[in-house]
Amino acid sequence: MILIKNALVSLVFIMLVNTAVAQFHISGFVKDQTTEELLIGANVIEAGTMNGTSADNYGYFSIVTKGNDIQVSFIGYKSTIIHIFSDTLVHVSLESGELLEEISVKGESTKRFNISTLSHKEILSIPSIGGKPDVLKALQLLPGIQSQQEGSSLLNVRGGNPGENLYLIDNIPLIYVNHLGGFSSVFNPDMINNIELYKGGFPAKYGGKLSSVVAISQLEGNKSGLKGSLGIGITDASFSLEGPLLKKKASFILTGRKTLTEPLFLLATKLTESKYFMYYGFHDLNGKFSWHPNDKNSVYFNIYQGDDYLKLWNSDRKMSQEEYSTSNSWGNWMAATRWNRVLTPRLFVDNTFSYTRYRLKNGYSFSSDQASDTINSENRYESSVQDISLRSDWKYKFLKYWSIDFGAKATQFIHIPNKIYQSNHKGQQAYEVIKSLESDFYVDNQIIFLNLIEANVGVRMVNYHSGKFNCFSLEPRLLINAKVSNNHDLNFTVQRVGQYAHLVFTSGGIMNNEVWIPADEKIAPAKSFQYSIGWKGEFWNDYVQAEANFYYKELNQLSTFKEGYSNLMGDGDWRTKIETGGSGKAKGAELLIRKSKGNWTGFVGYTLSKSTRKYPGINKGKEYLFDYDRPHSLSISLNRKINERWTFNASWVYQTGLGYTPVVGRQLTPVVSSSVLYTEEFIYGERNSARMKDYHRLDIGFTLNTLTSKGRKSKWNFSIYNAYNRHNPSTTYYGYSKDGFLQYNPENYQALNQYQISYFPIIPTVSYKVFFEAGTVAKANRKLGIKQRIKNYFSYE
């Protein structure tokens, strides 16, 4: 203990000595000179030294320097040098320029590990279904992140399930993030500035989810003038509008999407002479207002609303004199206001008040007007969760080599897991409204020693209260980065995280059944412990970057549906359908090689992993492979700028097939109250002890940038999903034939066969987007002759 105490005293003394000779403390924001959008990740260094930092998700930086010159740079922008002579707050505007060589920032003393980052440009470059970029599908290409099933946007991060990911929009939680059971994500790429996905080594400010943090920073809106876009594809149409307000001290951005699939579904069911009509659709509305009354203060207001709606009803209403329908709808509301302020060059604060609501509704109605029988009945099921949060996050530059982040958050959750209405019941079943309070306080220390070692030492303190249940937990976080040379870094992380609400669901169906249930005295909070080690390196003047990570994760007190259940509908005692006390293990190795410069850019990612689960009442209490365990996962993404008009993108994905529970035999079971009739039942083997065929798929896309006849920029996107038409299995089933026929016939014994279901063949798609902007460029182009207009359509010259 004496040795450790002396070492800590020596460390603080060295930092104080180094700080004593520092001259200036500079903080500020880095923005685009034209649009005034924040440049997240911009590099800020003291000229001629290794002392540097980068702009955070607020575009904010803080640095202590000995010299007077500060160099600021960002890829795709012209670097600039600012001169300072005292402690000050600065606003740095960078001019967009050619893709110049990025300035070597040795001052960014360490590279960030366990984080996957995508810029707005990278998201737009990855081909996807419908010709429209999808944020979460783009993230699935990165190591350690896997899809749940074919076509799904749901994320499984390092052996976790989709309910263990924390999604934040400008630091505001969003509870449900997918459309149509995961087919598409709710994030509109027109709103996104930057994405960071933490797979481990969470900063202490983040908690409440076990597996990952997806932090999305939204654009603020263009302050140079009014602009927008209109887009249309096979599956949906979209718009965006942004511009300045209040004499350019404020700005707004508004985006929206709406599916075009409803009439297609109705037409398809009619043409196939189905007994049912069906339609499905969704919409998203996303808005942000930003106001900067002065250099030190910023105020924001965010809003999001999105819904999915699915309905089926019988097509023979007139003939049968019966009407029955089934409906399923789900979605989010989110509204928040934020205020951040630079109190001093050393101290920055961001305060947020937010409201988020997710709800799931199922309905069934039946009516009969037959002469012999008149019936009218209606059943409705609803589940919802509300999140009302107040948080305050602070950044303090204590010493030159010591920064402190700290803050607190209080969240009121209101859960309704199981609300049922049945019209033919005189007395309606009482439903439970569960209120819980989660209070957090965190502190995170970032200490840099000799520009070689960076240590992030933090702790998150959580108190959770629900009814008679109360628990307090400490969640320590440790991250150590060591620079072994100018181009190579090593990393070690340890973290403990708790989750106080469980997501229970079953996948594979078109109907949404995701329900959030809170922890209480019967359903314990889930916990995870994870550590990782990693290496990052740069080669050939930073043309190629590589990284490798190894991780191990333990999960405890997991909850899921008991075997035989897929929803909470039915009786009011929903807790009897929940299997608790589960545990899990996940381990793996990740490799990423990225080329970020030159005519060809892209990356190759590979993951070797294993994930298991164990529940007392599932698989006879024995450990089994996790439902979404994929030992091998390989992804390749390529981008090529052919010329000023055309770009080419391609991605190829390979994954080991998902596990399933095989049928190992059959048995005859007597029908109740009969000594002659028998039914044939399956005998199943170990859970997930067999695997489907391996999954692989090639997607390609071309983008054509043009000018319309009126001089407006426009973009065509041509994509092919599953280019070589691979029939990837989504699920398997058993039967005597492909129609699944299984009726037992003692006089005609038939062999049992296994079949697979594949949903997504080769899908060619096209989308078009046109951009408009208030100004003189479009007006000038209207005066051009027809020959020049045609030339502009195929060239920017």
As a whole number, mean pLDDT of residues 199-208 equals 92
In angstroms, the CA 143 to CA 551 distance is 12
- Using one digit for the tens of pLDDT, what is the confidence trace for 354-399? 999 998 888 888 887 765 666 778 888 888 999 999 999 999 988 8
pLDDT at 19 over 60: no
pLDDT tier, 142 (very low <50, low <70, confident <90, very high otherwise) = confident
Neighbours of 786 (CB within 10 A): 8
Which whole-number Å values give the CA distances from 409 to 301, 392, 406, in the listed order? Answer: 19, 6, 11
Neighbours of 93 (CB within 10 A): 15
In angstroms, the CA 463 to CA 437 distance is 8
Neighbours of 330 (CB within 10 A): 26
- Using one digit for the tens of pLDDT, what is the confidence trace for 302-331? 999 999 888 888 877 767 677 888 888 888
In angstroms, the CA 171 to CA 40 distance is 14
pLDDT at 477 over 60: yes
Higher pLDDT, 398 or 673: 398
697: left (phi over 0), alpha (psi -120 to 50) or beta: beta
Question: 361 burial class (0-12, 13-18, 19+ CB within 10 angstroms)?
Answer: middle
pLDDT at 548 over 90: yes
As a whole number, mean pLDDT of residues 744-762 equals 78
pTM of the full predicted structure?
0.86
In angstroms, the CA 584 to CA 610 distance is 11
> Nearest CA to 133 among 121, 145, 146, 147?
121
As a whole number, mean pLDDT of residues 253-275 equals 81
Q: Kind and range of the H or E element at 71?
A: strand 69-73
In angstroms, the CA 771 to CA 534 distance is 43
- Using one digit for the tens of pLDDT, what is the confidence trace for 506-536? 665 555 677 888 999 989 999 999 999 999 9
Q: Within 13 A of 409's CA, how many CA atoms are on the CB side?
A: 29
Chain-wide mean pLDDT for the chain? 83
Identify the pLDDT of residue 109: 37
Residue reference for tokens 């699935």: 140
Identify the pLDDT of residue 37: 83
**Which of 187-196, 320-329, 409-418, 770-779 has maximum average pLDDT?**
409-418
- Using one digit for the tens of pLDDT, what is the confidence trace for 76-98? 788 888 887 777 788 888 887 64
Pick from 12-21, 561-570, 671-680: least confident: 12-21
Identify the pLDDT of residue 139: 85
Residues 192 and 216: beta-carbon distance below 8 Å = yes
Percent of the chain with pLDDT over 70: 84
pLDDT at 790 over 60: no
pLDDT tier, 107 (very low <50, low <70, confident <90, very high otherwise) = very low
In angstroms, the CA 519 to CA 501 distance is 6
As a whole number, mean pLDDT of residues 757-771 equals 88
